[in-house]
């Protein structure tokens, strides 16, 4: 996900809404169900906090996640709790809002029911904000070999694989094996891939540089592979070139116009060449959630549900689809699957529902793009704000300020600011934890990874980590 700016939507005054809530306590209030507590879903829920409605938020995790900083958890700069907040805590002061920890299995649109595995819930209005997952373009067998970066579990898995690779290399006597362990491949050069590759380079060349005795972490090889002609295709070409040069300066090998044809336990094959690696990370594309299947509506190739200018589906104006799950066309082009789009759509959807309840006219949704930004390392970023294009340290300060501002919770903001300041001054990363293992068992006989999907064989890093016994965070 790109790290963009944000905007707001006007709402009915709180005083009026509080009066309406009191007035309607004895009558049946409209029931609004929100599936997903990501950027769009949470914005919608918060905007409905004082409306004369009953709100139910359903999510399969108990926390809201600030995804733009997830790569910093994956690279040991931040801890998971720094960029997440319990959904119940965020909505604790909304008396009209209920939170359910559950997984949605389907939607009965005709009867207006959300189906969960052991129960169902009726609605008058439904907001679907279920996000997206990795798209392996027909190669789902790669999922267990090249994890994506969409959840805290993904981030801690990547952190574990990266840090454990250095630990295993420290004890390896075969130079070729060391080279394979210290080769890190990121597939896909959008904002997430660029930020991740830069962060891994910083770990290798700065944070871990003096911590090992038998290997030189500075010799780690970081490859960023992109099938398209340039990195960061969503940005102007001039900014893309600057980011490219900065990555190369940091020691990242950037290879564009190179499509990956295979991933196995020993590495990646691209353009007929096999590159040995035990750590491959996938940031090459996304696939929308199963919402299209639940609704039975038309979707695009990425599974996004085609919605109207009011973010609703055909013949069902009470069903809204927003965020990464929606295909929303504007000026002949689909809106990108980024946080600012989802947040504006969430606020718009809440305002639209309130306007319908009060009988007021509804205007179509219009996304206001205030800019986009991506960071490359500890003090370099690129920022596009309308016609203004900024790069370097000033852009990095702008990027940092925006992300601090939109983190949920004062404590999270304070902790992240302190950790960024420490990392900037010392080059250190305090969250260098290898979890789900017992360090006293290194080295050990390798065992298979029990949780792998599709019977895919585990990599050596996976095997070694699991052989060290699981323990929770």
Q: Is 195 a catalytic residue?
A: yes
Residues 6+ apart with CB under 8 A from 15: none
In angstroms, the CA 54 to CA 70 distance is: 32
Sheet holding 252-256: strands in order across?
A: 252-256, 221-226, 183-187, 279-282
Q: How far is CA 290 from the centre of its chain?
A: 17
The three-state DSSP-derived secondary structure of the chain is: CCEECCCCCCCCCHHHHHHHHHHCCCCCCCEEEEECCCHHHHHHHHHCCCCCCEEEEEECCCEEECHHHHHHHHCCCCCHHHHEEEHHHHCCCCCCEEEEECCEEEEECCCCEEEECCCEEECCEEEECCCEEECCCCCHHHCCCCCCCCCHHHHHHHHHHHHHHHHHHHCCCCHHHHHHHCEEEEECCCHHHHHHHHHHHHHHHHHCCCCCCCCCHHHCEEEEEECCCCCCCCCCHHHHHHHHHHHHHHCEEEEECCCEEEEECCEEEECCEEEECCEEEECCCEEECCHHHHHCCCECCCCCEECCCCCEECCEEEEEECHHHEECEECCEECCCCHHHHHHHHHHHHHHHHHHHCCCCCCCCCCCCCCEEEECCCCCEEEEECCEEEEEHHHHHHHHHHHHHHCCCHHHHHHHHHHHHHHHHHCCCCCCCCCCCCHHHCCCCCCCCCCCCCCCCCCHHHHHHHHCCCCCC
| 364 HSE (CA, 13 A, CB side) | 9
Report CA-CA distances (Å) from 367 to 295, 361, 403.
24, 19, 20
**195, 202, 246, 463: the active-site residue:** 195
Catalytic residues: 195
């Amino acid at each position: 996900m790109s790290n963009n700016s944000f905007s707001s939507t006007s709402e009915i005054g709180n005083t009026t809404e509080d009066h309406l809530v009191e007035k309607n306590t004895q009558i049946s209030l409209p029931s609004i169900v929100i599936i997903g507590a990501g950027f769009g879903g949470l914005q919608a829920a918060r905007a409905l906090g004082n409306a004369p409605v009953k709100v139910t938020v359903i999510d399969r995790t108990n926390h809201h996640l600030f995804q733009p900083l997830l790569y910093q958890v994956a690279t040991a700069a931040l801890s998971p709790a720094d960029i997440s907040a319990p959904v119940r805590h965020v909505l604790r002061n909304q008396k009209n809002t209920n939170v359910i920890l559950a997984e949605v299995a389907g939607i009965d649109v005709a009867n207006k029911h959300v189906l969960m595995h052991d129960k169902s819930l009726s609605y008058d209005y439904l907001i679907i904000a279920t996000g997206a997952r990795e798209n392996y373009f027909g190669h789902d067998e790669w999922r267990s070999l090249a994890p994506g970066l969409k959840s805290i579990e993904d981030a801690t898995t990547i952190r574990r694989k990266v840090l454990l690779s250095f630990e295993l290399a420290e004890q390896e006597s075969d130079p070729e094996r060391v080279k394979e362990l210290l080769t890190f491949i990121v597939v896909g050069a959008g904002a997430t891939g660029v930020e991740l590759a830069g962060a891994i380079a910083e770990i290798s060349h700065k944070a871990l540089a003096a911590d090992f005795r038998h290997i030189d972490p500075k010799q780690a090889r970081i490859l960023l592979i992109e099938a398209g002609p340039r990195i960061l295709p969503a940005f102007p070409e001039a900014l893309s070139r600057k980011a490219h040069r900065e990555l190369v300066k940091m020691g990242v090998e950037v290879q564009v116009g190179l499509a990956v044809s295979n991933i196995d336990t020993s590495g990646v094959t691209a353009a007929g060449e096999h590159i040995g690696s035990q750590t491959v990370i996938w940031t090459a594309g996304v696939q929308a959630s199963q919402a299209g299947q639940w609704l039975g509506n038309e979707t695009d190739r990425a599974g996004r549900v085609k919605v109207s200018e009011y973010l609703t589906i055909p013949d069902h104006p009470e069903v809204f689809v927003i965020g990464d799950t929606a295909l929303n066309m504007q000026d002949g082009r689909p809106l990108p699957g980024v946080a600012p789009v989802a947040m504006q759509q969430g606020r718009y959807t809440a305002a639209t529902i309130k306007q319908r309840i009060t009988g007021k006219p509804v205007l179509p949704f219009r996304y206001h793009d205030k800019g986009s930004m991506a960071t490359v390392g500890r003090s370099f970023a690129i920022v596009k704000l309308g016609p203004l294009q900024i790069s370097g340290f000033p852009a990095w300060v702008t990027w940092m300020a925006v992300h601090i501002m939109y983190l949920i919770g004062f404590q999270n903001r304070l902790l992240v600011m302190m950790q960024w300041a420490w990392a900037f001054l010392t080059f250190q990363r305090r969250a260098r934890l290898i979890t789900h293992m017992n360090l006293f068992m290194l080295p050990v006989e390798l065992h298979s990874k029990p949780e792998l999907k599709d019977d895919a064989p585990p990599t050596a890093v996976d095997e070694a980590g699991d052989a060290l016994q699981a323990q929770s965070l």
